[in-house]
């Protein structure tokens, strides 16, 4: 939803300081005609926190005939061992869809728990960018005070 709104109203982009996507369904290919937005979605101010339920070579989570996730139970598998905030090694498919966005594990194989399990990684991301903005504002204030003297 957010990417769609940003595509429709580019005036919103300058007011956004940081974004944390969690199991998002957006695709940077939607933004091909808007290179500024496409670049923004891949910068350090954006992070993607994904559940370990990826149904790929990086996960052993499978879906049963009833649509329920089945974990293999092997403690070495990524569906169990990927800690929240740990960097994900993305592949070509991932980068084609989401771009070169910093991607972290949520820390849960359960999609419905991804936001909760990944909350510390998400808050750390926002805190980092809030500190950067505060520092930039402090520098700008000092520069303008020095300029006026």
- In the block, residue with structure tokens 């990524």: 78
Pairing relationship of beta strands 69-70 and 62-63 according to DSSP bridges: antiparallel
**pLDDT tens digits, one per residue of 97-145:** 999 999 998 888 778 888 999 999 999 999 999 888 788 777 777 766 5
Does residue 108 contact residue 85 with C-beta atoms inside 8 Å? no
Q: Using the 8-state DSSP alphabet, how is residue 52 labeled?
A: S
pLDDT at 83: 80
pLDDT at 51: 83
Q: What is the mean pLDDT of residues 7-23?
A: 91
pLDDT at 126: 95
* % the chain with pLDDT above 70: 74
pLDDT at 139: 79
Report the C-alpha gap between 120 and 111 in whole angstroms.
Answer: 16
Q: What is the mean pLDDT of residues 15-41?
A: 90
20 pLDDT more than 90: yes
77 pLDDT more than 70: no
pLDDT at 65: 47
**pLDDT tens digits, one per residue of 50-62:** 886 544 444 555 5
pLDDT at 55: 47
Q: Which residues pair with 63 in a beta bridge?
A: 69
* % the chain with pLDDT above 90: 34
């Amino acid at each position: 939803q957010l990417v769609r709104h940003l595509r429709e109203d580019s005036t919103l982009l300058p007011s956004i300081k940081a974004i944390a996507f969690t199991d998002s369904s957006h695709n940077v290919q939607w933004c091909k005609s808007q290179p500024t937005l496409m670049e923004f979605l891949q910068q350090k101010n954006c992070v993607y926190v994904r559940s370990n339920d990826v149904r790929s070579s990086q996960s052993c989570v499978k879906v049963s005939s009833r649509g329920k996730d089945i974990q293999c139970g092997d403690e070495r598998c990524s569906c169990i061992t990927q800690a929240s905030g740990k960097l994900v090694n993305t592949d070509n498919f991932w980068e084609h869809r989401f771009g070169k966005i910093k991607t972290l594990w949520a820390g849960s194989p359960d999609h419905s728990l991804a936001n909760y399990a990944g909350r510390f990684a998400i808050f750390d991301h926002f805190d980092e960018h809030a500190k950067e903005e505060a520092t930039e504002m402090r520098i700008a204030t000092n520069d303008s005070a020095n300029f006026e003297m």
